[in-house]
């Protein structure tokens, strides 16, 4: 299925050096902000108090957030769970005037006291303390998950294509991940488990786009014997633009709907996906393909052991290099 077809190849690789210089600057800026500011971790990583509150009617989430923020909690997570009448409240660790950590019992008591005057009969169902040790374990497990995904992608690309594509693909995808984290570090947006899930989703989503382009490059090497590597890559990217617009456009519409209408619970999850999808398109076209070209990928790398088909395209053909 195609929305449109471009008859003349777009010379993407002509501008690869300048665009990759921009990518490098953006990447280094993201690394700097991660080092300078660090991530603003949620209570799932730092520890805190989890409360479950039940209401006899639909819970007024906006009112609850307002009342809890007035108690001095800036990084709370308040959301429905199970039904519209049940609310989960996550509170970060808080210290008193003497520097001692306030207990979960005292935190929950102060929150319930703030909610009682403005709501009709909320009941505290459960209070649980999540210690920093659990948060550290979650952080380590998240990093391990990211590492295993990266290793799996490298192995897959190496078997599917060739090691030069594997290196190019993983560098391009790590470029996306670091830039997402850089945005969260620069703006100090809250980094939670849902955002980590979005980062892992972006990693898989970006490699899918890279695989599509790599696959078309391999097909072009088999079809067009008189094209050089730069022309092969330009043709591969141009011929997949319609597919990219359909796939990424559809996904981005769904993600934007979550970003705009999903409320605070889904906001940072959708924001991470939005940044990742946009940079994923960019990196697949201008980073992964360009790195493969600079690593010296050739026809022989991709068609080893295969009989090279005859190419009927002549260099003096006015349509040379425009096959889609």
Q: What pLDDT is attached to residue 305?
A: 46
- Please, are residues 88 and 79 in contact by the beta-carbon 8 Å criterion? yes
Q: Which residue has the higher pLDDT, 247 or 316?
A: 247
- Asked whether residue 273 carries a pLDDT value surpassing 60, the answer given is yes
Q: What pLDDT is attached to residue 137?
A: 78
- Per-residue pLDDT of 192-234, as tens digits, reads 888 988 988 888 888 888 888 988 988 888 888 888 889 999 9
Q: What pLDDT is attached to residue 74?
A: 74
Mean pLDDT of 302-314: 51
Q: What pLDDT is attached to residue 4?
A: 63
320: left (phi over 0), alpha (psi -120 to 50) or beta: beta
- Asked whether residue 37 carries a pLDDT value surpassing 60, the answer given is yes
Q: What pLDDT is attached to residue 234?
A: 93
- Per-residue pLDDT of 83-95, as tens digits, reads 888 898 888 888 7
Provide the β-strand partners of residue 48.
92, 130
Class of CATH domain 12-39+135-302: mainly alpha
- Asked whether residue 120 carries a pLDDT value surpassing 90, the answer given is no
What's the pTM value of the predicted model, to 2 decimals? 0.79
| DSSP labels, 174-218 | HHHHHHHHHHHHHHT-EE-HHHHHHHHHHHHHHHHHHHHHHHHHH
- 3-class state of residue 55 by DSSP: coil
CA distance 47 to 38: 17
Provide the β-strand partners of residue 50.
90, 128
Q: What pLDDT is attached to residue 163?
A: 82
CA distance 255 to 270: 6
- Asked whether residue 1 carries a pLDDT value surpassing 50, the answer given is yes
CA distance 126 to 36: 38
Query: Where along the chain do its domains lie?
Result: 12-39+135-302, 48-130
Mean pLDDT of 158-173: 83
- Residues with Cβ within 8 Å of 315's Cβ and at least 6 positions away in sequence, in order, are 226
- Asked whether residue 312 carries a pLDDT value surpassing 50, the answer given is no
Provide the β-strand partners of residue 190.
40
**Which of 56-70, 72-86, 166-180 comes out lowest in average pLDDT?**
72-86
CATH 1.10.8.10 is the classification of domain 48-130:
no
Residue 223 exposed, middle or buried by CB count within 10 Å (0-12, 13-18, 19+): middle
Position 132 confidence tier, pLDDT thresholds 50, 70, 90 = low
Q: What pLDDT is attached to residue 160?
A: 78
Q: What pLDDT is attached to residue 2?
A: 59
Q: What pLDDT is attached to residue 235?
A: 92
- Asked whether residue 246 carries a pLDDT value surpassing 70, the answer given is yes
Q: What pLDDT is attached to residue 302?
A: 67
- Residues with Cβ within 8 Å of 73's Cβ and at least 6 positions away in sequence, in order, are 91, 92, 94
pLDDT averaged over every residue in the chain: 83
- Asked whether residue 275 carries a pLDDT value surpassing 50, the answer given is yes
Side-chain-side CA neighbours of residue 302 (13 Å):
24
Mean pLDDT of 151-160: 80
């Amino acid at each position: 299925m195609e929305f449109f077809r471009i008859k003349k190849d777009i010379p993407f690789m002509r501008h690869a050096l300048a665009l990759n210089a921009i990518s490098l600057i953006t990447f280094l800026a993201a690394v700097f902000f991660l080092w300078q500011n660090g991530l603003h971790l949620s209570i799932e990583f730092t520890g805190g108090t989890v409360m479950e509150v039940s209401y006899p009617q639909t819970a007024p989430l906006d009112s609850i957030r307002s009342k809890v923020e007035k108690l001095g909690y800036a990084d709370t997570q308040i959301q429905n769970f199970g039904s519209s009448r049940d609310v989960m409240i996550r509170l970060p660790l808080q210290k008193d005037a003497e520097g001692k950590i306030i207990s979960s019992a005292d935190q929950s008591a102060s929150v319930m006291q703030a909610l009682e005057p403005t709501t009709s009969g909320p009941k505290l169902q459960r209070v649980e303390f999540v210690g920093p040790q659990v948060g550290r374990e979650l952080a380590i497990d998240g990093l391990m998950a990211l590492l295993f995904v990266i290793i799996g992608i490298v192995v897959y690309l190496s078997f599917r294509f060739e090691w030069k594509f594997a290196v190019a693909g993983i560098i391009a995808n790590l470029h996306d991940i670091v830039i997402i984290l850089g945005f969260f570090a620069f703006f100090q947006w809250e980094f939670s488990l849902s955002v980590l899930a979005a980062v892992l989703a972006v990693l898989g989503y970006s490699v899918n786009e890279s695989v599509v382009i790599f696959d078309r490059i391999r097909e072009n090497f088999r079809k067009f014997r008189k094209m050089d590597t730069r022309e092969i890559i330009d043709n591969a990217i141009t011929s997949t633009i319609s597919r990219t617009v359909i796939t990424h456009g559809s996904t981005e519409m769904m993600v934007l709907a979550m970003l705009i209408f999903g409320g605070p619970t889904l906001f940072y999850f959708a924001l991470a996906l939005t940044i990742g999808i946009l940079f994923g398109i960019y990196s697949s076209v201008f980073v992964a393909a360009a790195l493969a070209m600079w690593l010296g990928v050739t026809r022989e790398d991709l068609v080893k052991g295969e009989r090279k088909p005859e190419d009927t395209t002549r260099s003096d053909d006015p349509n040379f290099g425009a096959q889609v």
